[in-house]
Structure 1
């Protein structure tokens, strides 16, 4: 937290002096009470002493002063605010290994369902594009705000629909970046690539080279490794998930890496990515928080004093 007027925090020394003075006065009152040695008579004169309750209004009042002083110093903090615009490219692996049924009904079907939910929850003004990749990558839907077009594109994703066999993660990233650059301009919105795959790169260009390009363009790549070690496709071929390439790409571009071994974990990963994409952090004046809390403490101090002592503090 930073402060626009930090010199005003010196007023807290005055508050500290008030607290010290209050403690001194209360101790002095206690000594005077002890001098009245006839306790039975004291009970008759003042049978209902306030005890701890008499300190509540004062404590609330002092807390109010502290909060108002902090607010007066105009504190600033990072606050998440909704983005007005952004471009998101979703790249989905459609290689043969995505037909493994270790995630019901199979990896690709589950990935498509989760992608539909993810796209549906993005702000309507965001441009969303779709890339499918296997041994090569292709743009299924260029970045648009038309969600029906994106949803239809997700529905068309099928095993082997993007080139020869293999997993071309580098091509998927490069193709996504090309789509983003079609919207290039001085006022181009922030962009992000989301890649979902179940394996390491086996075809196309080097993913590290694509990651370097993403870094140069300032486009983070979020990566989801989807599947389990028990993946098997038709014919009994084992296709265990391998997320090392995806993790390296995410780390190199400042994105986030997720491992999802179930539909619920995949949805959670997409939800986390959605919160990152949909909001940005800004430094804002948050003095109203402290002033508002101070006013609440002032009200509580007044209520406590009126309820217990029939007067305002």
Structure 2
């Protein structure tokens, strides 16, 4: 495997055909001037030691040296070093509510966007912990399996929206059950961070929390929204055109139900915190993680890329030295071989 450190400099290779074209034009111009000067054979006799082949060879060597310098600037890297990396931490699964009620804007910019901001900031503060993401509304949806690649996790986090689960509702129980299946190491400390407004949470959520507790999993619940609540905006092309209404035409108001979320966390010996302050949530999670027992994850082999630019610089230097010693006159021993059946005049 290989990668290019600065691939944009590959555009400099376009100079090579330009220089070749300039050389060909220079050869054409020189021969034209020689024909204007006099008979070509007589002109050749005036410089019997001049070698057309040597002249072309010097140009080829120079162009090859320029090519090597450009490749050195690009800095190709090859994965030749392999080392074993061991990590210690805990396993964390984020269970994110993606029901339509999470579009309410009683928490700026919206409950869902605040939820994504909180998860992103928690990830930023992690060390060697493994993370996974579950989205849920009327059903649970696996967004990202357990991983240590935080970059990939953030990429998947950006794609979380209310359309990833078609059925509506707040199936917290199904989300917890799915999160439980993400934990593949029986010896690791396990934590579910559930972010929701707690609305329409379902009767099986406490039972699911008890199942999680039996497997040594704690749940931290993060309340999103306000107890006063707010309407659910309906957007078209990013513009609000209406608010969600019930069957009687009344605007639906969605509220935060902290009591349901508190009961859920207490069932596993975890805790509840309001999502009003992102920093308060991240600090709370950080303290929970720091007090949890860290376990070593299985070793994984990581390929590190070694820079190879030095070889191309060395080749360019050798070619330039060769170009310096190459003369444009014919080489005596090659001339004696008479490879092209040239006759002495």
Band of TM-score, shorter chain: 0.5 to 0.7
Q: Which moved more, 1:155-164 or 1:246-255?
A: 155-164
Which residue number in structure 2 is paired with residue 117 of structure 1?
121
Cα distance 1:217–1:158, how it changes in 2: closer, same or farther (>3 A)? same
For 2:178 and 2:293, the matched residues in 1 are separated by 28
Which of 86, 92, 111 is matched with 1:88 structurally? 92
Which residue number in structure 1 is paired with residue 53 of structure 2?
none
Unaligned runs of 5+ in 2: 1-86, 234-242, 244-250, 295-345
For 1:248 and 1:140, the matched residues in 2 are separated by 26
The CA deviation string for residues 131-150 of structure 1, in whole angstroms up to 9 with x for no partner, is 11111111100110000111
Q: Does 2:272 align with 1:257?
A: yes
Q: Does 2:153 align with 1:150?
A: yes
RMSD over aligned CA atoms reads 1.9
Which residue number in structure 2 is paired with residue 132 of structure 1?
135
> In the alignment, is the contact (CA less than 8 A) between 1:200 and 1:243 conserved in 2?
no
Which of 267, 271, 274 is matched with 2:279 structurally? 267
For 1:148 and 1:278, the matched residues in 2 are separated by 22
The CA deviation string for residues 200-243 of structure 1, in whole angstroms up to 9 with x for no partner, is 3445x701111111111011101011111232112232001112
Which of 66, 87, 110 is matched with 1:106 structurally? 110
Cα distance 1:178–1:93, how it changes in 2: closer, same or farther (>3 A)? same
> In the alignment, is the contact (CA less than 8 A) between 2:94 and 2:132 conserved in 1?
yes
| Offset of residue 114 of structure 1 | 1.7
Cα distance 1:281–1:167, how it changes in 2: closer, same or farther (>3 A)? closer
> In the alignment, is the contact (CA less than 8 A) between 1:176 and 1:193 conserved in 2?
yes
Which residue number in structure 2 is paired with residue 221 of structure 1?
219
For 2:91 and 2:188, the matched residues in 1 are separated by 7
> In the alignment, is the contact (CA less than 8 A) between 2:218 and 2:269 conserved in 1?
yes
Which residue number in structure 2 is paired with residue 277 of structure 1?
289
| Offset of residue 98 of structure 1 | 0.5
Unaligned runs of 5+ in 1: 1-82, 283-313
> In the alignment, is the contact (CA less than 8 A) between 1:200 and 1:246 conserved in 2?
no
Matched length: 191
> In the alignment, is the contact (CA less than 8 A) between 2:199 and 2:255 conserved in 1?
no
| Offset of residue 279 of structure 1 | 3.5
The CA deviation string for residues 59-118 of structure 1, in whole angstroms up to 9 with x for no partner, is xxxxxxxxxxxxxxxxxxxxxxxx932100011111100101111221111111121111
Cα distance 1:220–1:202, how it changes in 2: closer, same or farther (>3 A)? closer
Which structure would you say has the larger Rg? 2
For 2:151 and 2:133, the matched residues in 1 are separated by 12
Aligned partner of residue 102 in structure 1, secondary structure = coil
Cα distance 1:277–1:231, how it changes in 2: closer, same or farther (>3 A)? same
Aligned partner of residue 88 in structure 2, secondary structure = coil
| Offset of residue 281 of structure 1 | 7.4
For 1:273 and 1:162, the matched residues in 2 are separated by 27
Cα distance 1:126–1:111, how it changes in 2: closer, same or farther (>3 A)? same
Which of 157, 166, 171 is matched with 1:168 structurally? 171
> In the alignment, is the contact (CA less than 8 A) between 2:93 and 2:192 conserved in 1?
yes
Aligned partner of residue 217 in structure 2, secondary structure = coil
Q: Does 2:256 align with 1:241?
A: yes
Q: Does 2:230 align with 1:231?
A: yes
The CA deviation string for residues 236-272 of structure 1, in whole angstroms up to 9 with x for no partner, is 3200111222111110100011123x3xx23312321
Q: Does 2:205 align with 1:207?
A: yes
Runs of 4+ deviating beyond 6 Å: none
> In the alignment, is the contact (CA less than 8 A) between 1:226 and 1:259 conserved in 2?
yes
Aligned partner of residue 279 in structure 2, secondary structure = helix
TM-score by length of 2: 0.52
For 1:156 and 1:278, the matched residues in 2 are separated by 29
The CA deviation string for residues 156-186 of structure 1, in whole angstroms up to 9 with x for no partner, is 1001312401111111111111111xx134x
